[in-house]
Amino acid sequence: MEENKNFDDNFMEELYAHIDEIVEDVIVDQIESTVSCSVQDAIEDALLECLSRFEFVLSDGTLVKPKQRLKLLSPNKNKMLICYGGLRVDGKSLMVQTSTQCWTEIAYYNNQEEAIEALNKVKDAIIAEIPVLEL
């Protein structure tokens, strides 16, 4: 009977040690992720502040005006994105730069000309400093 008790005690100790290890790993991962996101956000904010006085157009037609924060509502009204930096037409899609390295489709058009027309509409809204634009 004493052997079973020692076996059970040993098993429970190992189980608790394993649980502690898993919890510690999860907490460390969460802390690393939070710190990483915070640092990334701080760097992005600092970069945007530095570039706030500059506006330029990339070779693909992307308008880059980092300080603006135009909100775009998709034509079917199921998606609203904040345009942090740029715009571009990718085939028949109007793409919005939603963060430093992230591009998201806001609308898909019947042809590239319609997408370019929408891009120009957004550029005009940025220039006019309109806070929300419904495509």
Task: Give the tens place of pLDDT for each residue, 70-128.
Answer: 888 888 888 888 777 678 888 898 888 776 667 888 899 999 999 999 988 988 888 88
Q: Which amino acid is at 125?
A: A
Residue 108 and residue 76: Cα distance in Å, rounded?
10
List pLDDT tens digits, range 34-71: 766 666 666 666 665 655 556 666 676 666 655 557 88
The reported pLDDT for the residue numbered 46 is 65
Q: Which amino acid is at 48?
A: L
| pTM of the shown model | 0.49
List pLDDT tens digits, range 5-27: 566 777 778 877 778 788 777 77
